Structure formats: structure tokens, C-alpha cells
A and B are shown apart, each in its own frame.
Chain A
Amino acid sequence: MSTTPAVTRSTIEDLLFREAELLDNWQLEEWLTLYTDDACYYVPSTDLPRDADPDKALFFIADDRQRLGERVTRLMKKGAHSEYPRSRTRHLVSNVQIKRVEGDEITALAAFVTFRSKNGVTDTYMGSAHYRLRRMDGQLRIREKRCILDLEALRPHGRISIIL
């Protein structure tokens, strides 16, 4: 019998709110430390089923941990023209639910709305974020984040140059 305290919604909310804060502050290297070394980050294309496989279908984003790290490295450079000058963002996270707890692996679901302002326009990205979390050394880390956009198409935005 485990002596680890039960995971509660508020523990998960603390993690997701912290993630949102770091992203909005452009503290991307610190943000990356919330993720496990084998983490994945997915954004499927808008006409795919939510459980689509990135090895078999075309996604917008399908990062393993290595590419996710490169994404951060890239975004911190001036040569990432799409985000230079940097856009202003606001990540809102809500409707958090614990879906399943199996040992140290937790599946959680949240609704998100992310606003991105740059060049005189504000774009809205909204959808559901499907998280697989892992309890490690008494802390919760993100093993997988899959953002399912509610948009019919990525219009009028044309890019997901920020991290959702």
C-alpha cells in the first residue's frame, strides 16, 4: 500500500496554472522542466480524430522530447521570426478533471483558451488539453500533452508559433 498522498484536482491545477504562467512569461526553459525526459507534445490537424497517430496521420505538431527541446531553443532565438518580436499570450486553463489514476500515472483533462496578440491582431486558440502526468520524486510532471483544437480550421491564425 502506497503512502503517497492522493492526487487531487487542485494539485493538478497548481501544475497547469504554473505551466500557463511560465508560457505567458516566455520562461520556456523553465517550462520545459515541468516535462519528463520522455515527454511528447501533440497538436493534431483539425480534421483528425482525437486519438489519431502522428506516425500515420499528418499533425500540426508531434514533438518528442528532443524536438520539444529544439522548439524551445528555436523560440528563444531572434531568428524565430514568427515570434520576434515576441507575441503576447494569455493561457487560460479550466474545467480540470482527473480521468484515471494508475499508480504514478494520472490522466487528466482540461479546457484551454490561449490568446496571442501581435501585429495588431489577437488570435484565439481553444480546445481540450489531454494530459498524461507522472508522479516522480513527490512531484507531478507532464508525460504527454495533446491539444485538441475546437477550431474547424486554423483560421484566421495561420500558425501555432507559440506553445499552446
Chain B
Amino acid sequence: MTASASKARGMVRVDDGNATFRVSRQAFVKPEVMAAEYAAIFDKCWLYIGHESELPNPGDFLTRNVANRKLLFTRDRAGTLRAFFNTCPHRGAEVCRDARGNAKSFTCFYHGWVFGNDGKLKSLPDDARYAPNFNSNGSADLVPVARFDSYAGFCFVCFDPDAVPLPAYLAGAKEYLDLIAGQSESGMTIVEGTQQYAIRANWKLLVENSFDGYHALTTHSTYLDYLKNTNGGLASVALAGRGHDLGNGHAVIEYSAPWGRPIAQWIPMWGEEGKKSTDAVIARLTLRHGEEAAKRIAFKNRNMLIFPNLVINDIMAITVRTFYPVTPDYMMVDGYALAPREESEFARKYRLHNFLEFLGPGGFATPDDVEALESCQQGFRNLDFAPWSDISKGMNCDEQRYDDEMQMRAFWQGWQQRIDSLNGGQE
């Protein structure tokens, strides 16, 4: 096995007898661990590239960084979604340097090779200087990513040709993706405007933070004060719920909470117009899904991690978020807002305002999460003397509450298994 993999073993210490679960802080700091993560996790797992609504028409494209790879995500002339490595097979330049757009073809600006949105080489200048059967084997076409698939509108790539199919990989997370997709009759859509930012901390700290029910009252006291100060900003609903292990390192917390949800928990501030809007949403959901499922969709909040780094939080708005480590102590984050395409202007407005009030770099909550994560990373400088983080909350109990840490343990166990599987798990 590789040196980096051997140094990433044994990061997770589980003591069932004493109900303790600890993670070595080396996992957040050591470059060898990050190298092992790229080899064992980001190069092996299904990774989110985008939502199908971002490419509605033939010829639409996006360029995205996924696990440090520069990808070109297209909908070809026939309407098929495709993912390519954004590099010219000739000499390497990116064939597309726009963030998004619509194009019949991509012309590499370096020497002028032209590719269709299906990745096929269409033409190249001075082609008489190439053999007649040049590219008969497709070696001068754009290189597709080994695997591409989508589920409930969420599109994924995988760099490992031997990976299990996406539905098997998603395991128990499929049910929760269906709950998201089920919110809309005409399809969910990513709203224009991306929150692209960075955090000077290890990416796994954001995994933990994204479904951490334990920190809300302390880290986010000022946000909760804000909601209390806002006239009618809260419903009389208690914070309560459970954590669920969804398999393969995926996990979710599902809970009730007092904030307003455009789908569809009304708060007094939204007034009569808002009441009509949420009532209508619930009636439509009940028709389509039955009363029980409709109530679950409308009133429960869900913070979900799809291993390793796709967070879908269906809370006061829906955020879709991915993040990658550049160095062990620096990650790049992309955050998107997801919404039902057909929702009213009223609901869309409150959704977006809910989103930025809490979430994102200018909100009343996320900046304090960023501060907490960066503070953890600073604290890890002491790891020679304070080497462990504790993730035991709830281990001594049968019922796993939303503010316990079982969901984080599910992630960490999936993480360690993947790391240990490098080179067939040979010691």
C-alpha cells in the first residue's frame, strides 16, 4: 500500500464499551491524509457535478471544478447530459473557458481544434497534415469522465470505471432525494446566483458542521435572537427529531423547527397571503403523495450528507453545497439555492430571503460557522498534545436525536473504510 494510505489508517477510534468515538486531529492536518482522501475517496466515489435544471436546453454547458479536475458539463444536440475533462486532446488547453453558456461546438483557442457538444472532434486547421485515418479510434475526441449518471435531477460523475452504479451507491439517500424532488410538480431548479467562497479549515469540519444539531443554540444565538425579534418570525414548533445512518457514509438528521419553510411551514410574519400560499402547497402535496408523506415533506427539515461532500439541507430554504480541499487547512465551497420551478413569486422571495438571512457568507449564521471551523483548525495546531476530537454524543442512548452525533459517526466510519480499502486493504 502507499505511504500516504498507511499514514491515514487508524484515525477513528471507537470504544463501544465506554460509548466513546474519537477522531485523530491528524486527519484534519496532515498532507498525507489529504493525498489518501483524493486517492481513496474523491477518485472512487460518485461526486456531484450539478443539477439537470442548470442545463435545460440542448447546447447548454457549464464548466465546473470537481475534485480538482476541470470538467465540462454539457447537454448535447440530442439532449443527452455529458461530462468531459476540459482539456484539448491535442496539447492540453481548456477547450471551454466560460463558466456557462450555450454552444454548438467548442473551439480550442490555442490551435483551433473544434469539438461538438457531444465531445467529438469536428474539425482541425490544416488537416491535410494529418493521416487520413487520424482520430479513427477517437483518441482526438474530448475524454469523457468514466461514469456519469443522475438521480432525481442531481447529476453525478465518478472517475472510477469500476464503481458501483449510482443508485446502489446512494443507498438510503435515495429516499431523501425523492423527498426533495417530490416538492415540485414541474421539477426542481437551481436559482440563479452561486455563493462561491472558501473556508480556511479542513473540509471534514464542514461535513460535521453541515448536520450538527448540537451547535445551533451556542454558535447561532444571534440568529435565533433575530428570529425572535422579528415580529412573527417563528412558528410554535419545537426543535426535535432524529438522526439516520443512510449507508455508505451518507447520513441525515430529520427534525421539526420553528422557522418558516416556503414548502410549507407558515409563520405569522407571512400574513394571510403567505397562509394561502402554504395551504395551497400542502393541499397539492397531499393530493400527490398522501397526507403522511405530504406532512413530512412540508414540515420536517432535513440536513443530509451524501458521502463524501454533497450537502443538501432542506431547512428554511434548500441549499445544495459541495466543497473540496485545496490544502488540508483550506477548502473551496460552492453553494446553490434549489427551489420548485413553479413556486409563486411570494414563496420564491421568502425562500431566497430565508436563505441569505441564515446561509452563506453574508448571513446571520454561516459567518459564525466559518469562524468556528477556522478556530477548530487553529486549535489543531496543538494536536501533538491534544490529539483527539470527540464525536460520542448519543452513543450511550438507543434513540439517536437530531442533536446527537450519530450522523457524523456514520460519515467518519464510511471515511475510514474508504481510506482502509486503498490497495485492497492490505496491511
Chain A residues near B (Cβ < 8 Å):
43-48, 52, 54-62, 66-67, 70-71, 73-74, 77, 79-83, 119, 121, 152-161
B198, A154: Cβ atoms under 8 Å?
yes
Cβ of B260 within 8 Å of any chain A Cβ, yes or no, is no
Mark each residue of chain B from 298 to 338: 1 if its CB lies under 8 Å from any CB of chain A, else 0. 00000000000000000000000000000000101100110
Question: Across the interface, which residues of B come within 8 angstroms of A121, CB to CB?
Answer: 200
Q: 29 A-B Cβ contacts within 8 A?
A: A44-B193, A47-B99, A55-B352, A56-B348, A58-B192, A59-B193, A59-B352, A62-B352, A62-B356, A70-B364, A74-B223, A74-B364, A77-B222, A79-B221, A79-B225, A80-B368, A81-B368, A81-B372, A153-B196, A153-B197, A154-B196, A156-B330, A158-B198, A158-B200, A158-B333, A160-B361, A160-B362, A160-B367, A161-B370
Give A160 to B356 CA distance when docked, in angstroms: 12
A57, B352: Cβ atoms under 8 Å?
yes
- Which one, A58, A83, A153, contacts B355 given CB within 8 A? A58
Cβ of B110 within 8 Å of any chain A Cβ, yes or no, is no
Question: Across the interface, which residues of A come within 8 angstroms of B367, CB to CB?
Answer: 82-83, 159-161
User: Chain B nearest CB: distance from A60 CB in Å?
Assistant: 4
A119, B374: Cβ atoms under 8 Å?
yes
Mark each residue of chain B from 328 to 372: 1 if its CB lies under 8 Å from any CB of chain A, else 0. 001011001100000001001100110111001110101110111
Mark each residue of chain B from 367 to 395: 1 if its CB lies under 8 Å from any CB of chain A, else 0. 11011101000100000000000000000
- Which one, A70, A152, A158, contacts B229 given CB within 8 A? A70
Give A48 to B368 CA distance when docked, in angstroms: 25
State which size class the interface on B falls in: 35 or more
User: Chain B nearest CB: distance from A137 CB in Å?
Assistant: 29
B230, A119: Cβ atoms under 8 Å?
no
User: Chain A nearest CB: distance from B100 CB in Å?
Assistant: 8
- Which one, A47, A70, A73, A158, contacts B194 given CB within 8 A? A47
Chain B residues near A (Cβ < 8 Å):
99, 191-200, 219, 221-223, 225-226, 229-230, 330, 332-333, 336-337, 345, 348-349, 352-353, 355-357, 360-362, 364, 366-368, 370-372, 374, 378
Name the residue among A45, A57, A61, A158 with the largest chain B CB count within 10 angstroms: A158
- Which one, A46, A54, A158, contacts B352 given CB within 8 A? A54
A82, B368: Cβ atoms under 8 Å?
yes
User: Chain B nearest CB: distance from A152 CB in Å?
Assistant: 8
Question: Across the interface, which residues of B come within 8 angstroms of A62, CB to CB?
Answer: 352-353, 356
A155, B196: Cβ atoms under 8 Å?
yes
Give A99 to B378 CA distance when docked, in angstroms: 46
User: Considering only CB atoms, which chain B residue lies closest to A69 in the complex?
Assistant: B229
Question: Across the interface, which residues of B come within 8 angstroms of A153, CB to CB?
Answer: 196-198
Given contact pairs A55-B348, A119-B378, A158 touches B191 in the complex (Cβ within 8 A): no
User: Chain B nearest CB: distance from A136 CB in Å?
Assistant: 26
User: Considering only CB atoms, which chain B residue lies closest to A45 in the complex?
Assistant: B193
Give A161 to B192 CA distance when docked, in angstroms: 23
User: Considering only CB atoms, which chain B residue lies closest to A62 in the complex?
Assistant: B356
Question: Across the interface, which residues of B come within 8 angstroms of A58, CB to CB?
Answer: 191-195, 336-337, 352, 355-356, 360
Give A19 to B81 CA distance when docked, in angstroms: 50
B193, A80: Cβ atoms under 8 Å?
no
B197, A52: Cβ atoms under 8 Å?
no
Give A79 to B217 CA distance when docked, in angstroms: 11
Question: Across the interface, which residues of A come within 8 angstroms of B356, CB to CB?
Answer: 54, 58-62
User: Chain B nearest CB: distance from A76 CB in Å?
Assistant: 10
Give A52 to B193 CA distance when docked, in angstroms: 9
Question: Across the interface, which residues of B come within 8 angstroms of A74, CB to CB?
Answer: 222-223, 225-226, 364
Give A47 to B226 CA distance when docked, in angstroms: 28
User: Considering only CB atoms, which chain A residue lies closest to B353 in the complex?
Assistant: A62
User: Considering only CB atoms, which chain B residue lies closest to A154 in the complex?
Assistant: B197
B196, A47: Cβ atoms under 8 Å?
yes
Other A-B contacts than A60-B361, A82-B367, 15 sampled, CB-CB below 8 A, are A47-B193, A54-B352, A55-B348, A56-B192, A57-B191, A57-B352, A58-B337, A62-B352, A62-B356, A83-B367, A152-B196, A156-B200, A157-B198, A159-B367, A161-B361
User: Considering only CB atoms, which chain A residue lies closest to B359 in the complex?
Assistant: A58
User: Considering only CB atoms, which chain B residue lies closest to A162 in the complex?
Assistant: B367
Name the residue among A58, A59, A74, A79 with the largest chain B CB count within 10 angstroms: A58
